[in-house]
Structure 1
Amino acid sequence: MRFIDVFAGCGGLSLGLLKAGCRGVAAIEKNPMAFETLRHNLIDGKRYRFEWPDWLPKEAMSCEQFISDYKTQISELAGTVDLMVGGPPCQGFSTAGRRNPADPRNKMAEQYLELVKIVRPNYIVIENVSGFNSKFNEEKKTSAADEKYIKKSYAEYISEELTRLGYKVSRGKINCASFGVPQNRHRYLIICSKQELKENLFEELIKSAVQFRQSKGLNPDHPVTVHDAIADLETDSKQRIPSTDSPAKGFWEIEYKAPDILSPYLKIMRDGFSGIPNSLRLPNHKVETIVQFIKFRQASEPGKSLSKKSRDALGLKKHAITVLARNFPSPTITTLPDDIIHYSEPRILTARETARIQSFPDWFEFTGKYTTGGKARKLDCPRYTQIGNAVPPLLSEAIGQMLLARKKEEQTYLEQAAAAKS
């Protein structure tokens, strides 16, 4: 199954599909920092490599630029691409932010539709935040062009457009924890097929969750916890060494040694890797910040966002902050590292810990700076942002396996039908 990944980010969706046995044709990502991580691991990587076309530069570009500069070459791909996937930027839909129908990032989904019209893939998968299926507030409409997003959700709009293009559309919300991700990350999926299938592909994916976890050696009756995911990265009793995987000086990281006995989830994360994962840099908190984190733990219920009453009492202006519950999945990993506090240590998580909770294996290396601030936030995509924006690879691997099984069944049916006619 050959696929194109649009709005690919650092490669979470692509990684899962490649692990499932799909073949990558191209990946389009606008941000140079995110694209560099993708290129490093999956385009010029040691474990997986896209079958990259000679005519396409290995560089960051927007979906709009991809279509305008290479429309002739893209048209030649029509009929050779089985699957097109993508997670259009979701800030305009997110209920955690300011939901704005005029947010220009919303319109990127329409570029995705334009690419569908050219490539005409057999299958389509669109992933977004759960707010993707919520209608915008009438008061936030800024122009007549926003009318269609007020009267219906963006998911409804895109689904109707795909139906007009001849696709059978299935959609709904999923929790990534159902597929072994140690995180209650609720997302909205649109899964489409050009074939007239009796089965609803979204429901097929939901039904596959238990079997998928079992195939990965995970307990189907219990979710993977944050302790399962990051216990070996705790700092207690571990030697600290200077961190050298970024230009910033004065940071430390643990001297990592993999446990002799790996838990089922850690086996997936180590993935046969015998080396030391990157992005282990520990935060360099001030003493007053550590004291504040200790107060957060005392004032909160682990696993639940600090209440408004507690935030007010602590003089905290931040909208949401959660101390992890050791024996439960994490809440949604975001692009802001200070949204979550470690379950047993007064600090934020390392980039590698957030990557573990997102189900990125240890061999996958994140590149670029760790964080950014000020005006650069609108332009940069540092490691924490790359990880927080990603589709968990375990979820995309489950999607890939489901679609590969579906394609195999379709091929068998067509062969049998052809044999019956002859």
Structure 2
Amino acid sequence: METDSKKPLLAIDLFSGAGGFSEGLEASGIRVALSQELHPQPALTLAFNHPDTSVVVGDIRSLDLDIMEEMISKRYPGQEIDVVVGGPPCQGFSTAGKKNENDPRNGLFKNFCNVVSYFKPKVVILENVTGFKKMYDGRIYEEAIDSFSALGYKVVDSILNAVDYGVPQRRKRFIMVGVREDIKLKFEWPKPTHQNPEVEADIFGPRLKKHVSVEEAISDLGFVKPGYEAHAHKLGALSDYQVARRGNYQRLFNHLATKHREKAELTFSYIPEGGTIGNVPDEYKSAKKTMARLDRRHISNTVLALPDDLIHYAQHRIPTVREMARLQSFDDDYVFIGKRTSGFTDRKHDVPQYTQVGNAVPPLLARAIGFQVVELLGADHVDIRSKIVRRNRHKWLRGSSGFTGYALDSVSSISLYDTHGRSISLPIDDAQPKTLGLPDLVNWKAAGKTGAKRQWAPGVNEVVNVYSESSCTQNILA
């Protein structure tokens, strides 16, 4: 099937989170025209990084689809929606969840189907946890199959492991793809591009690339020590993966290394590389049940929404948001906006940076799926991400990624919309700084959180002392 090669395919991304699937689709040649996300913080992250996407904030059950169509038509006149993709909340299906069959979130795929029925895209992609297929004796899975079939789609599904597509992390996801029945072509699953050469023989063709290790993913970021934040690279790229994520760009964002309390550092010290909380003597354990130290030689454990599930392989600290994003295969110019982290109570309404990263679909996995859709529909395999516009927007960032996160300069032109297409205010802390020229190095522990809000706007070469009690003039590279 051939399409107009001058115009990319258009997609809608539902339950979009911070935009991992959108990032991968656009890297494969599919423009995300509109996204929907319940929470404003990840929605703002997506809007900041995807200037060509109209981002709607609110419950999918209240979407005014007529208005959504108008928004798309105004921005992309004369084009139809080719792809609808979405990952309904997985708590009811997850093997780590409470497995409540009556969890109202389990039925949100019905609202996904409502959007599919309205726009009638050529391809539908449903992403979820692996438990989606087997949970509750497969009843919800069968309901999804029946729903898409009734809408006129030929459905296939598979379990894909992100590590096989260049993501340095064990992460399996359930993927269901529906192709509209009038399209007489079969969707082909993406072939793995990476493997573990120690256990997988090259019997299906030319040698694949080796799985990307933790060290290959984040070793160039290890110059930042606990208590510091960096906004620029200080080391050269040390692997092909790092070259790809950096893209000849020297700026860094969301790279604040936590300075933990002495008791936490002592606990971490008992966990060897590749070890777990089980290595810690009982007298030094806390209520935390899940914790593992990364092993630099191997791929990462699954990146989750809680930052203290993983410990850096060489330092007694959790990974930075940037390091977690690297393990998820986000490029370094992708900025996460909102609180850096939140307490248990606040997470009922906040989606902080760590959670945004942990909940995301790895962009490289999404890109692999997107390539197959582009191939199926005869479109162009071109990376259409608006990288220049995205990087120009970095000039609008103010403050630090710590505490309440980055603020935006008053000249910024980011927009978010409610489910009826009306503009809404941005979830930004207005107390953050709006001007340039403040000190390069700041002792935030001495200043306290109130003082920290009055600090600097990042410059290209800044490495900032965030929590350390050492002198403000200390340089991290000394």
The within-5 A match list for 1:362-401 is: 362-401=332-371
**Is it true that 1:14 corresponds to 2:22 in the alignment?**
yes
Distance 1:272 1:109 in 2: 40
Q: Distance in 2 between matches of 1:360 and 1:96?
A: 25
Aligned residues: 358
The TM-score with structure 2 as length reference comes to: 0.69
Determine whether 1:346 maps to 2:316. Answer: yes
Instruction: Provide structure 2 residue ranges, at least 5 long, that are not aligned to the other structure.
Output: 1-8, 196-206, 380-478
**Paired residue secondary structure (1:381):** coil
Q: Which amino acid aligns with 2:82?
A: D
5+ unaligned residues in a row in structure 1: which ranges?
44-48, 53-57, 137-150, 212-218, 241-250, 410-422
Deviation at 1:160, TM superposition (A): 2.1
Structure 2: distance between partners of 1:270 and 1:75: 32
State the match for 1:99 in structure 2: 99
Residue type at the aligned position of 1:108: L
Given the alignment of the two structures, is residue 229 of structure 1 paired with residue 248 of structure 2, yes or no? no
Which residue number corresponds to residue 61 of structure 2?
64
2:163 and 2:194 in contact (8 A); partners too: no
Q: CA deviation at 1:314?
A: 5.0
Q: Aligned letter for 1:66?
A: L
* 1:172/1:239 CA distance change after superposition, 3 Å: closer
Displacement of 1:167 after TM fit? 0.6
Is 1:263 the counterpart of 2:239 in the alignment? yes
Q: 1:120–1:79: structure 2 CA closer, same or farther, 3 Å change rule?
A: farther
User: Does 1:284 pair with 2:252?
Assistant: no
State the partner residue of 2:417.
none
Residue aligning to 1:81 = 81
Cα drift, residue 195 of structure 1: 3.7
Task: State the Cα distance separating 1:120 from its structure 2 match.
Answer: 0.9
Q: Classify 1:239/1:285 alpha carbon distance in 2 versus 1 (closer, same or farther; 3 Å).
A: closer
For 1:406 and 1:230, how far apart are their aligned partners in 2?
35
Matches within 5 A, 1:99-178: 99-136=99-136, 151-178=137-164
Q: In 2 relative to 1, CA 109–179 (structure 1 residues): closer, same or farther, beyond 3 Å?
A: same
- For 1:165 and 1:312, how far apart are their aligned partners in 2? 56
Q: Percent identity?
A: 34
Q: What is the Cα-based RMSD across aligned positions, in Å?
A: 2.8
- Partner SS, residue 94 of structure 1: coil
1:36 matches 2:33: no
Paired with 2:238 and 2:271, the residues of 1 have a C-alpha distance of 32
Alpha-carbon distance in 1 for matches of 2:251, 2:288:
34
Q: Distance in 2 between matches of 1:117 and 1:255?
A: 45
Q: Distance in 2 between matches of 1:353 and 1:102?
A: 37
Higher helix share: 1
> Which whole-Å CA distance do the structure 2 matches of 1:239 and 1:380 have between them?
27
Cα separation, partners in 2 of 1:328 and 1:72, compared to 1, 3 Å:
closer
Task: Supply the AA of the counterpart residue of 2:245.
Answer: M
Tell me the distance in 2 between the aligned counterparts of 1:391 and 1:368.
Answer: 19
TM-score normalised per structure 1 = 0.78
- Equivalents in 2 of 1:100, 1:271: separation in Å? 44
Secondary structure of residue in 1 paired with 2:270: helix
In the alignment, the residues of structure 2 paired with residue 378 and residue 69 of structure 1 have an alpha-carbon distance, to the nearest angstrom, of 31
Higher mean C-alpha deviation, range 345-354 or range 74-83: 74-83
If asked which structure has higher relative contact order (CA below 8 Å, sep 6+), I would say 2
Structure 1 residues 320 and 239: CA distance shift in structure 2, 3 A: closer
- SS class of match (1:279): strand
Question: Which residues in structure 2 correspond to 1:147-226 (within 5 Å)?
Answer: 151-195=137-181, 201=187, 204-207=188-191, 209=193, 220-226=208-214
Residue identity in the other structure for 1:270: R
CA contact (8 A) 2:122 2:183 kept: no
